[in-house]
Chain A
Amino acid sequence: ILNVEQSPQSLHVQEGDSTNFTCSFPSSNFYALHWYRWETAKSPEALFVMTLNGDEKKKGRISATLNTKEGYSYLYIKGSQPEDSATYLCAFNQAGTALIFGKGTTLSVSS
């Protein structure tokens, strides 16, 4: 059974802190790794979709890296703001298969 692990499960930081989360996935038959942000009372929103080993993607203060050979991805948030408070989900799939989601990392940013 394919499994996606995310750590930490939850995180509390102060405004202005930088933080990062980890997503681990099976390295065999890799096709794509997705990151989503899920704010309370909203729908999950796609942040990044990465397919190539060594991929680095950036959107504002948020960036992500991908290592398909060892099966992990990091999500970085620079200078966290209260509006970054959300659950961050990663999902992985092999070619032709459905997305398998991790349980998420819940980030809380205090002002």
Chain B
Amino acid sequence: KAGVTQTPRYLIKTRGQQVTLSCSPISGHRSVSWYQQTPGQGLQFLFEYFSETQRNKGNFPGRFSGRQFSNSRSEMNVSTLELGDSALYLCASSPRDRVIGEQYFGPGTRLTVT
């Protein structure tokens, strides 16, 4: 089975711009979660989607949004980028349905905001 894929892998944006990151989960996984990792911080939860519905949301400003499509692929969008948004963004899918389960992580997208 193919693993979780994320595109693009690297991205450089300018402050004030917006960005869209994409994640394709493992086939059959309907839960997709997004995490942000910055230096000195653990993985910070952004949001989780299950069957196109946001099931959980982390403590991030409204500039961070996401969605999930009927094929379980997910996108996250960050508008009005700030320097502090520079981070590794990880997507993970899970085979569990009722509650979030074991996470299968993608390789991440490294976003640099200048």
B105 near A49 with CB under 8 A, answer no
In chain A, residues 19-63, which have Cβ atoms closer than 8 Å to a Cβ of chain B?
31-32, 34, 36, 42-46, 49
- Per the CB 8 Å criterion, the residue count for chain A at the interface is 24
* Per-residue A-contact encoding for B8-44, CB less than 8 Å = 1, 0 else: 0000000000000000000000000101000011111
DSSP majority for the B interface?
A: loop
In chain A, residues 51-88, which have Cβ atoms closer than 8 Å to a Cβ of chain B?
none
**B: contact size bracket:** 20 to 34
In the complex, whether B56 has a CB less than 8 A from a CB of chain A is yes
Q: How far is the CB of A98 from chain B (nearest CB, A)?
A: 4
Bound Cα distance from A25 to B4, whole angstroms: 28
A43 near B102 with CB under 8 A, answer no
